[in-house]
Chains A and B, each alone.
Chain A
């Protein structure tokens, strides 16, 4: 089966600053792929290149089989994206947001109400369907944004620090949604700096200063570095120190 994401020596320079330095990796279909790193490590830049928002400086990358240089619009039809900046319209209601993005992603007019009911029911937010998004708690907004990113049933969904600023229980619920999506065959590409979330991923890559320092399953990484948590792995790689 073809890989959902493939990169080879993918690089992005801003002037003399190398944000993403020759990263090479593959993501299999249906995989939950974690992208870890400190702030400014180059996670978001890499993700933006894969989503067709940013032109790479050099290297190769394909997403859903499409080339990031020449076929970025094809890529956009096949991916969902949820950024760390909140991406729903606060001055529209829940229902209106779903309707708008459904329309933009080219859902058929008749399908939109059906899809809307599905999302509302799944998230258990039927009661606030006609409230403005601005009035929802952050955790609900994030779950809604995730569902909206999946509205067109994309092959791959990119999540850029999707759970920033919410409590552990809400984060856990959010990850249930991620598992559900992955179970349905959607590839999930997620950046995070919560180490407990790293444990939930099938495979994890750790970026430090634009370079990819490690790539393996969470258990594989823990074994390789002889530690018992992803946090410890990260400490060793990112800071060059051990917490032990």
Chain B
């Protein structure tokens, strides 16, 4: 039992002797929290729209007028041909082009239906999706206006269809609110997983690992002795992150702070387990770095930190079954922003606990004092 304490003491001493690493470990995450939270903003404003009006009627003018009066859109002008539209999109002068075909008004009045075309520059897929969504909503709005007017012949009028959004839990649609809990846990993965893996592999490189392997130290003593310092550092970092969220981003923690810490600790144990496993597989720091980095990027991109997991292809959603970051980010957002209680998040709790135990078992099975 005593040996664990000596390991912890040694690790903390070494950490204190490495002020650069210590500074990076504390400052880099804070920087990331601030930068990512401010920069990763999905709100799309100032979309440049150009129009080919092949009809030049009251109706077509009205449709274009609808775009004119919205903040999100910026009418750049009228174009005369498809060729010109292509050039405008190519040059980046417009994000989307609305094409109104000839006989737009006539078809609408006579046949009761017609089509317009939207050309969207989809280089940036998510921006294009959002732009397309906005534009479609406007066109639908226009068509329901028309429907209403034609029915207005009868007294009382037809139902006016409006699209009204209500944003719950994040009423101002602040992306910072959405990002902070996610980034917070992503950082724990960085410290718990990557730094711990590198730490152990470094001992392999220096040769002190071999020295430890000829001592009577037990596996669990080694594993605990290596883990505890990272759990302490990780929880410290988590606290800094929560405070930043509270005071810099003004995010109130709706749920229980204790529950947040329970999950932070659980997630850190999982990350350290992963770090240990990587360190048993890697021979040197390059290998460990590469493997950790590969997993980190995969976990982060699939996790729903930047893009909603529901819209991912089915295979990606399957992969996400094994992505601890996906579970913890969901939990973090739910507890922090919605005030979920343990009952609400008990399923991810047990999934994460299972993963943590699995990783630790795998790591201690792979860690061999004798090769």
Given contacts A53-B370, A54-B371, A91-B17, contact A103 B212 (CB under 8 A): no
Q: A105–B207 contact, CB under 8 A?
A: no
Which residues of the partner chain B approach A53 to less than 8 Å between Cβ atoms?
Answer: 210, 213-214, 369-371
Q: Report which of A55, A89, A104 forms a contact with B6, defined as CB distance below 8 A.
A: A104
Q: A87–B210 contact, CB under 8 A?
A: yes
* CB within 8 Å of B: which A83-101 residues: 83, 85-92, 96, 99-101
* CB within 8 Å of B: which A28-70 residues: 51-55
Q: B214–A76 contact, CB under 8 A?
A: yes
Chain A residue, CB-CB nearest to B225: A104
Q: A92–B10 contact, CB under 8 A?
A: yes
Chain B residue, CB-CB nearest to A82: B211
Which residues of the partner chain A approach B216 to less than 8 Å between Cβ atoms?
Answer: 73, 76-77, 104-106
Q: A103–B6 contact, CB under 8 A?
A: yes
User: From residue B16, how far is it (CB to closest CB) to chain A in Å?
Assistant: 10
Q: Is A72 an interface residue (CB 8 A)?
A: yes
Which residues of the partner chain B approach A54 to less than 8 Å between Cβ atoms?
Answer: 370-371
Q: Is A144 an interface residue (CB 8 A)?
A: no
Q: A106–B2 contact, CB under 8 A?
A: yes
Distance A83 CA – B204 CA, assembled complex (angstroms): 13
Q: B17–A85 contact, CB under 8 A?
A: no
Q: Is A188 an interface residue (CB 8 A)?
A: no
Q: B207–A72 contact, CB under 8 A?
A: no
* CB within 8 Å of A: which B1-21 residues: 2-3, 5-7, 9-10, 13-14, 17-18
Q: Report which of A55, A85, A104 forms a contact with B3, defined as CB distance below 8 A.
A: A104
Which residues of the partner chain B approach A51 to less than 8 Å between Cβ atoms?
Answer: 214
Interface of A is mostly: loop
Chain A proximity mask over B202-243: 1 for CB below 8 Å, otherwise 0? 000011101111111100000000000000000000000000
Q: Is A189 an interface residue (CB 8 A)?
A: no
Given contacts A91-B14, A101-B215, A105-B215, contact A52 B369 (CB under 8 A): yes
User: From residue B138, how far is it (CB to closest CB) to chain A in Å?
Assistant: 64
Which residues of the partner chain B approach A206 to less than 8 Å between Cβ atoms?
Answer: none
Distance A85 CA – B211 CA, assembled complex (angstroms): 9
Interface range on chain B: under 10, 10 to 19, 20 to 34, or 35 or more?
Answer: 20 to 34
* CB within 8 Å of A: which B339-371 residues: 369-371
Chain A residue, CB-CB nearest to B3: A104
Given contacts A103-B2, A104-B6, contact A89 B208 (CB under 8 A): yes
Which residues of the partner chain A approach B215 to less than 8 Å between Cβ atoms?
Answer: 76, 101, 104-105
User: From residue A142, how far is it (CB to closest CB) to chain B in Å?
Assistant: 13
Chain A residue, CB-CB nearest to B218: A73
Which residues of the partner chain A approach B13 to less than 8 Å between Cβ atoms?
Answer: 92, 96
Q: Report which of B5, B214, B370 forms a contact with A81, defined as CB distance below 8 A.
A: B214
Distance A132 CA – B7 CA, assembled complex (angstroms): 18
Given contacts A52-B370, A55-B371, A104-B3, contact A89 B210 (CB under 8 A): no
Given contacts A52-B370, A54-B370, A96-B13, contact A103 B211 (CB under 8 A): no
Which residues of the partner chain A approach B217 to less than 8 Å between Cβ atoms?
Answer: 104
User: From residue B18, how far is it (CB to closest CB) to chain A in Å?
Assistant: 7
Distance A54 CA – B370 CA, assembled complex (angstroms): 5
Q: Is A19 an interface residue (CB 8 A)?
A: no
Q: Which of A91, A92, A132 has the most CB of B within 10 A?
A: A91
Which residues of the partner chain A approach B10 to less than 8 Å between Cβ atoms?
Answer: 89, 92, 96, 100
Q: Report which of A55, A85, A104 forms a contact with B212, defined as CB distance below 8 A.
A: A104
Which residues of the partner chain A approach B211 to less than 8 Å between Cβ atoms?
Answer: 81, 83, 87
Chain A residue, CB-CB nearest to B221: A104
Chain B residue, CB-CB nearest to A107: B2
Q: B5–A55 contact, CB under 8 A?
A: no
User: From residue B240, how far is it (CB to closest CB) to chain A in Å?
Assistant: 25
Q: Report which of B14, B214, B370 forms a contact with A89, defined as CB distance below 8 A.
A: B14
Q: Is A230 an interface residue (CB 8 A)?
A: no
Q: Is A79 an interface residue (CB 8 A)?
A: yes
Given contacts A72-B370, A91-B17, A101-B215, contact A83 B207 (CB under 8 A): yes
Distance A104 CA – B5 CA, assembled complex (angstroms): 9
Q: Which of A53, A77, A104, A109 has the most CB of B within 10 A?
A: A104
User: From residue B212, how far is it (CB to closest CB) to chain A in Å?
Assistant: 7
Which residues of the partner chain A approach B370 to less than 8 Å between Cβ atoms?
Answer: 52-55, 72
Q: Report which of A72, A79, A132 forms a contact with B369, defined as CB distance below 8 A.
A: A72
B→A interface (CB under 8 Å): 2-3, 5-7, 9-10, 13-14, 17-18, 206-208, 210-217, 369-371
Chain A to chain B contacts (Cβ below 8 Å), 16 pairs: A51-B214, A53-B370, A54-B371, A76-B214, A76-B215, A76-B216, A81-B214, A85-B206, A86-B207, A87-B211, A89-B208, A91-B14, A91-B18, A92-B10, A100-B10, A104-B6
A→B interface (CB under 8 Å): 51-55, 72-73, 76-77, 79, 81, 83, 85-92, 96, 99-101, 103-106, 109, 132
Taking A53-B210, A103-B5, A104-B217 as known contacts, 14 extra A-B pairs with beta carbons closer than 8 A to each other, sorted by chain A number, are: A53-B371, A54-B370, A54-B371, A72-B370, A73-B216, A73-B369, A77-B216, A88-B208, A96-B10, A103-B2, A104-B3, A104-B216, A105-B216, A106-B2
**Top 4 nearest A-B pairs by Cβ distance?**
A103-B6, A85-B207, A87-B211, A81-B214
